[in-house]
Structure 1
């Protein structure tokens, strides 16, 4: 399905006014680097895309003569027009996104990508003057369909691909064969973390799951006054869930208790640390057996990461057999973030800890400054203005989709010369921790640790739900050190 993102209309603007600004969570301050590529807020100020109903000023001077016939359109140019609208040759971005499958469906990611592309085209001059054209390939959760999308997008000649989340990581050879770089918003497979030519700009399960382990075995004592020696680890029983559990939850826990060799400073720090892993099949209607198994282990704390519906099904099941966050703290990844579901869970959600992105655009703007504030305001204003529904805006995958386009735009601004897929890939490779990440920690693709060479951002924050919003309690945390020097453990 092709979506041309060159059209804007007053209807979209009116729709944005109806939606208004969306209240979201509290986040940390992130002023950014003044020498970094120009931000969306800065460029929008310099070239506003405001429309006017006033007629053009009349003049008696004759029109300038031209050799071109009067009925032919003006030649397109690669330079942005004064209004900020992109007018050059389209830059085609393919998008692989799971939609319509109960085992994993994230339509809000597509909505965020499309809205951001419309905004960049209408107000920010596209990518080096080239308007973004989105080619969306919706897939179900199957290895064959993953490759089907890759083959279709590769054959269509897209300049770059965004993979929102892919459970198999089996498409990279297809894109490599066509020299198409891949930007990954939610990396969850070994291939997402280790493939040359891939750029994992979201932390995915590498950043989130290692941060879950780091927080629950180290910093949680500062907030709960407990020493965690027993950890309940329900985990998503999907292809990426197997990898994320084994390589990025069980392995770092084993590093801490000294049974997995590694280079971490915390190796062997807690020899009495134990845990139980409990697989949770996606879209299970009743998770009472899994909840019972977790609580029977008598954990000091619980960590969990899955698609949103499964997160809150588990919380409901735990609550029905007597669990409360006050009795046994629970820490969840940002893939579980869904404000409507969190409010519906009531007291069972109050006090839950959530992994958040450093510089998250789901943050409450109150108290923010600098680039972080500008990015939050941009998201809250422009996402609904360009067609994103409020219920999609408050979901983690929706925000990640919008941020993906904005990060590609920011990186494209650093390209010296023609903006092509190869040029953007080289610009990503060169990021060194000083490049702002719209909605996340600064990009540092050049500093990716072996063997996780595709990782561009792994830093996280810890937030706590108070019943209405998320309050940041740890502005920055990383558990990547826990897997330093270890062997890959995919399952």
Structure 2
């Protein structure tokens, strides 16, 4: 029985699925293939692995690999059938995403899992024509997130994270923000359009700045942010954990004492809890650093995810690992009990039919919106504690202002 292929230093599988045009450099491990005990026909899905280009998302492949072993080993697959993954590496360009989509169509996958890609919309023409849905957590491509056709995103839209965070900052007396984003075409919608509109709606002062995707200077960026001494300064989104660490260090060296907003980064907290304390970060799912402060019903799932992700030899943790893990597991759980053959059309109709469904590590989701691919608008905003743990503002998921989200295409 064939197993998924992942571009990792080592993957927990007994064999590698080699697919032309797709990543297939995983190395063999001694661990028994969890799918070997499952006798149902494999359910093949594609995975857009954001491994290359100017803005890779390290950890997404780790989360996917861990999730496949967890689904096949701990959950018994999907109705007794193993999930099998065809991986294709992307580099943020539409051309590569299109090539991956064509490969997935040729391979006959029943869904494509989006790993936080900036050009995922380039896959939609080929996938839609083949009736293969695109399934993700957060649509990092604003075009993907602007309509509901043939796509499902289990997390909130990008706008929710910015709206929810700024809403919470405003409620705690913070009235000015300076936020940075990597300078890519999709970023300008956020910095040039969304941020000013949101600031006006919340009666806040807001400034957006860019940094180079190929040669970022975080010392200079820290100086730019600290210059006006805003109540909140930091990153709307981060290209990697190292960017957050560098920016936090730069801001603290400049004696900036406002709230440092670090997108979804977490590694910098463990590296230097004292510098991180008082900062804030967002997430679509519960993260291990929140274990002590998470609701009791979440802790068992967090422990299971942490165990599976840490078992991936040479893997990378962090938000993208846990977000991707949650995405795959929610997908598998949603398809439990489906009668008959699972096709792309069956996957899409099943996911679109979810109503108040408990997502893995996330909120209850409903995916039936005719105007948005997102199954929720709720998000988590964490505050970094002095001991290095993180605590959710309001102790759980936040609901951004619906009136503000309604002004953003595809958000609701």
TM over 0.5, shorter chain: yes
2:313 aligned with 1:313, yes or no?
A: no
More deviation, 178-187/481-490: 481-490
Find the residue that maps to 1:459 and give its secondary structure. Answer: coil
2:232 aligned with 1:293, yes or no?
A: no
RCO higher in structure (CA 8 A, sep ≥6): 1
CA contact 1:97–1:163 (8 Å) conserved in 2: yes
2:401 aligned with 1:440, yes or no?
A: no
**Distance 1:2-1:377 versus aligned 2 partners, 3 A rule:** closer
TM-aligned CA deviation for residue 199 of structure 1 = 0.8
Distance (Å, rounded) in 2 between the aligned partners of 1:436 and 1:6: 29
**Distance 1:352-1:126 versus aligned 2 partners, 3 A rule:** same
Distance (Å, rounded) in 2 between the aligned partners of 1:357 and 1:124: 23
CA contact 1:167–1:239 (8 Å) conserved in 2: no
CA contact 2:149–2:373 (8 Å) conserved in 1: yes
Q: Which of the residues 263, 266, 271 maps onto 1:333? A: 263
Find the residue that maps to 1:463 and give its secondary structure. Answer: strand
CA contact 1:236–1:242 (8 Å) conserved in 2: no
Aligned partner of 1:167 in structure 2 is 118
Between the two proteins, the alignment pairs up a number of residues equal to 385
Map 1:351-370 to 2 at 5 A.
Answer: 351-357=278-284, 359-360=286-287, 363-364=290-291, 368-370=295-297
Structure 2 unaligned residues grouped into runs of 5+: 6-11, 16-27
The root-mean-square deviation of aligned C-alpha atoms, in Å, is: 3.0
TM-aligned CA deviation for residue 345 of structure 1 = 4.0
Aligned partner of 1:456 in structure 2 is 375
More deviation, 209-218/410-419: 410-419
**Distance 1:155-1:349 versus aligned 2 partners, 3 A rule:** same
The TM-score normalised by the length of structure 1 is 0.71
Aligned partner of 2:59 in structure 1 is 108
TM-aligned CA deviation for residue 392 of structure 1 = 2.1
**Distance 1:231-1:359 versus aligned 2 partners, 3 A rule:** closer
Find the residue that maps to 1:392 and give its secondary structure. Answer: coil
Aligned partner of 1:350 in structure 2 is 277
More deviation, 173-182/124-133: 124-133
Aligned partner of 2:335 in structure 1 is 412
The TM-score normalised by the length of structure 2 is 0.83
Aligned partner of 1:52 in structure 2 is none
TM-aligned CA deviation for residue 138 of structure 1 = 0.7
Q: Deviations over 1:2-25 (max 9, x none)?
A: 726875999438xxxxxxxxxxxx
TM-aligned CA deviation for residue 95 of structure 1 = 0.4
Structure 1 unaligned residues grouped into runs of 5+: 14-48, 50-79, 222-226, 257-269
Distance (Å, rounded) in 2 between the aligned partners of 1:306 and 1:274: 22
Find the residue that maps to 1:203 and give its secondary structure. Answer: coil
